[in-house]
Each structure stands twice: as C-alpha cells, then as structure tokens.
Amino acid sequence: MPGLSLGRLLLALDATIVSLVEAPRGLDVPVASAALIDSDDVRLGLATPVGSADAFFLLGVPDYQARRWIGRQVRPPVAIFAKEPSPALTAAAVQAGSAVVAVQPQARWERVYRLVHHVLAHHGPADPDAADTDLFGLAQSLAERIHGMVSIEDAQSHVLAYSASNDEADELRRLSILGRAGPPEHLQWIGQWGIFDALRAGDEVVHVAERPELGLRPRLAIGIHQSGPGRQQVFTGTIWVQQGLQPLADDAVEMLRGAAVLAARIMARLAARPSTHARRVQQLLGLRADDAVDVSVIARDLDLPLDGTGALVGWDTAASHPRLADTLALSASAFRRDAQVASNRARVYVLLPQVSSGRSVNSWVRGTIGALHTELDVRLRAVIAFPVTGLAAFAAARTEVDRVLDSAARHPISIGQVTSLAEARTTVLLDEIVTMIGKDPRLVDPRIRELRDQDQVLADTLRVYLDAFGDVAQAAKSLQVHPNTVRYRVRRIEKILDTSLANPDVRLLFSLGLRVDVH
C-alpha cells in the first residue's frame, strides 16, 4: 500500500490536535502505518522496530530514551509524534531524517492513534473509492458548503471526524476533538435542554442557542440514524456544526439533513465492507469495464428496484473545487434519500432511481447550481437524462450524458448550463460529425481552405448564407450589410469555387467544411 503523504495526514488531523515541528524530507513522504511505543518498550528493548511502521507515537518516553531509540535505528521513521518535543529530541530526529510532529498536550493518545489509523485507511487518493468511506472528507465538504465547523460523533459522543478549525472554535469543540470531556457545566446544560433526547428521537435538525456565559457559540445538530431490524431507525451518532463569526448558509439545515444520510451510509460501510457501495454504483453506470455486471445483484446490494422510471444527472466538475463530488453528494442526499452518487475523474453522476417528474429534477439541479455559485463561487454544467426506464438502462444513459458533456467541453457556448439529452441531441450529433471530419483533412473540401486563405470576409459570408438556407435578407441582417452586398458576394464565391450553391450536396459539404475550419 503506497500510503498517504505526511502532509495530507497532518492536514486531515488539523492543528487542533497536531502541529508540524520539522520535516527534513518534506511533506510528500508516504505514511502507510503507525505504531505506539512507551517508556517500558524502549527501556526493555521491546519497542516495535522501525521497519514495521512509518510513524511512531512516543507515549511518556523520556527525552534521553527517545533520542537513544532514534539513534539506534538503521532506517529512521518517517515521523515521530510526541507531546511537547524538546529541541534536543527534534535535532536528533532531524539529523536522522525523521519529521517531528507535536501533539497537543491535552489530546488523548488513544484518540490520536485511532484517528490516524482511520485517516490512513479511509482518507486519500490511493483508493479510488476512498470518498465512499471518508468521514473526514464529508465533514470538510459540509463545513465549506455551509460556512461552519463540523464534527461527526458516534452514539457515545466520541469524535470520529471533523473539519478544519479556526480561531472561532469554542472550548467545547476543541476539547471534544482532543478526546477530553467537555466542561461539566456545558454537558449538563445541553442535557437539561433535551438536546441529546431530540437527536436520538428523530431526524430533525436541532438548533442550539449561543450561551456567552459558558463560552458556547451557536450550533446546529442532527442525529445519524441507520435502519435496524424490522427497518427500525437506530441512533448511531451526531453531526454538530458550530457557527463562527460568519453566518451559516441559508440552506444549512437542508444540507445537514443530506449529510446525516451520507454519514449513516459511510458509518455502515466502515462497519461492513468499505467501498462496496461506490463500486456497485460505478458498475451500474458502466464505469468499471473490467467487472462483470449482474444488475439484479447490484439492485439487491443497493436496495433499489429493478424496474421503474428514474433519472441520471451528470456534472462536469473539472477545475472547480477540490471536494465538489462530496458537496454534490450532500445536495443529492438532501434532495432524495435514495440518490446514488458515483464519480469518474472530473465527472460526478447522481442516479435517482424512482422519479415521476423531470421537472422536479430540473428544479433541483438548477437550485444546486445556483447555491454552489453563491456559496462556493463554483460554476457547473449539468446534463439530465430522463426518463431512464429500469436499472439496466442507466449505463447507456451515462454514455449519452458523457457525449453531451464532452461536446460542451469542446464548445461551452453551444450547450446551456443545464440541458437534457433531448435538448442537446442536435448540437451533440453535429459536433461529433464535425469533430470526426476535422480529424481527417481529406474529408474537408480544399476549396473551403482556399477561400478562407483568399478572403476571410467571403468565407464568413458563405457560412452565414448557408446557415440562413440561402435567405439573402436573413443573411444580410446577420451580417449587417445590404442584401445586394450579399448577392454580390455569393456570385463571387460561386465564381471562385467554380460551383453553384443551388446544389444541395454542395451546400451540405461546404457547410460542414466551414464548421470544421472554425473549430
């Protein structure tokens, strides 16, 4: 396993827990495993050898023992994690080539160790399905989308993942992330107001008011629930959003509901078989050509009906935002609990298995595009395939959606920000035909190139004239010239090209050739 870079590991853990002291080999060094060693391990010679792990956590190891341990290693560790590392320990580690990471003194070691293992297993580019089990990614995406600080806890209020914090984080958030219990008066106050009871009882968002006297900022919270025996909803955790100085997004409550759905799925996958869900959705959309696809098996695993009418939305997210796939998944889950999301490079696909009206999908897509433009300054293009009849038809629908997105990437102006397969069919077919012709110079009449080289004005006039189906008045209006000028130019064009534009085959050939030349 190639592991995660040290830099990405530290970025995931956040400055709330760790801070980099020195990194003599840079931050791109891979980290794939971690181990704990304590004072007795070092003193008795029982410490885990460096070759068996990349990062080491020094639990209560005295400074002199730690320096001696580092000096005895044939291969230095990638990084050592220590609370309040001394300058002498830092110097010894740097000399050996190891990075030094300072752990917040208040952090519980078991919390740090568990979080690191979680990040290494489920947070990184090495696994193409990592987003399917990445609670840290979900927390950060939600935080960026609604402008708050997010933490995700299990049913016992243990923090599983969190977004980056800033100076506006209050004491309750900071201590929770460090693995310490919040101040008793904070927890007592939250309990007295019935907040925990409300989170366990249902899936509504709970508003927690600011308490300046306790140092508590305003919060939103929602319970995470999973289906238990007999489809009974079982409480499995909580998503908390602490508001900073900036107001939360207008649709924060809606986005939080979507996040709760995704968090429940991710927690279930982590407890079972990570990444199976994303792989199944990709198979259903034909994104895994090397996998044998049995739609009935996929339907069973995803708990989706084989028949019925659905919709597929394809999004082109190239060069827009680093976590746009997660953000779109949030929005999709808020729109429909049964929404399925898969990604492939810069494309994100939202599969909606049971849709009765394309109008509601179009409205959601446009609303999402508007919200992401407002909140994240991101401009997106989406293509809607509706109706899609039966799960087996989604792979073909995804191929058609890609054709439209490919065409839009070549000619952004030709296709609207939101379009359907039916609306884009003529534009896409023509674009694909012209693109194919353009790849073979033999298919373009050489007289077209000669005309462009000789007189660009005449070439432009010919294209406008052909697009107007020979309507001189319409062509003159488009060119902003007198109709007689168009007639004169057309006669010159026919003379130069030595042909008659009355011939429909000639008009078709020239029209395609002119489109190739301007692409």
- How far, in Å, are 265, 408, 422, 519 from residue 411 at the CA level? 38, 5, 18, 9
Whole-angstrom Cα distance, residue 209 to residue 196?
14
Whole-angstrom Cα distance, residue 426 to residue 422?
8
Token pair of 160 as six digits: 């599983």
In the chain, where does the domain assigned CATH 3.30.70.270 lie? 303-432
User: In three state form, how does the secondary structure of 378-431 look?
Assistant: CCCEEEEEEEEECHHHHHHHHHHHHHHHHHHHHCHHHCCCEEEHHHHHHHHHHH
The H or E element spanning position 266 is helix 252-271
Q: Are 361 and 311 in contact (CB under 8 A)?
A: yes
Domain 303-432 has CATH 3.40.640.10: no
Chain mean pLDDT for the chain: 84
In the chain, where does the domain assigned CATH 1.10.10.2840 lie? 440-515
Q: Say whether 477 sits in a helix, a strand or coil.
A: helix
In the chain, where does the domain assigned CATH 3.40.1390.20 lie? 4-122
Whole-angstrom Cα distance, residue 115 to residue 65?
26
Q: Are 54 and 81 in contact (CB under 8 A)?
A: no
Residues 6+ apart with CB under 8 A from 348: 314, 315, 317, 324, 325, 328, 329, 341, 342
Query: Which stretches in the chain have pLDDT values below 70?
Result: 1-3, 44-52, 121-133, 180-187, 229-231, 272-276, 290-292, 318-322, 413-414, 517-519
CATH class held by domain 4-122 = alpha beta
CATH class held by domain 135-272 = alpha beta
Cα end-to-end distance, the chain, whole Å: 45
Q: Model confidence over 243-289: pLDDT tens digits?
A: 998 999 999 999 999 999 999 988 887 776 545 677 888 889 998 87
Residues 6+ apart with CB under 8 A from 6: 23, 27, 28, 29, 30, 31, 78, 79, 99
Q: Are 385 and 285 in contact (CB under 8 A)?
A: no
- Residue 153 pairs with which residues in a beta bridge? 159, 238
Q: What is the pLDDT of residue 182?
A: 59
- Residue 226 pairs with which residues in a beta bridge? 234
Q: Helix 135-146 and helix 324-335: axis angle, to 10°?
A: 80
Whole-angstrom Cα distance, residue 467 to residue 508?
10
Q: What is the pLDDT of residue 125?
A: 45
List for the chain the helix, strand, coil content (%; round to 5): 50, 20, 30
What single-letter amino acid sits at 210?
A: E
CATH class held by domain 440-515 = mainly alpha
What single-letter amino acid sits at 236?
A: T
Q: Model confidence over 264-276: pLDDT tens digits?
A: 988 887 776 545 6
Q: What is the pLDDT of residue 183?
A: 62
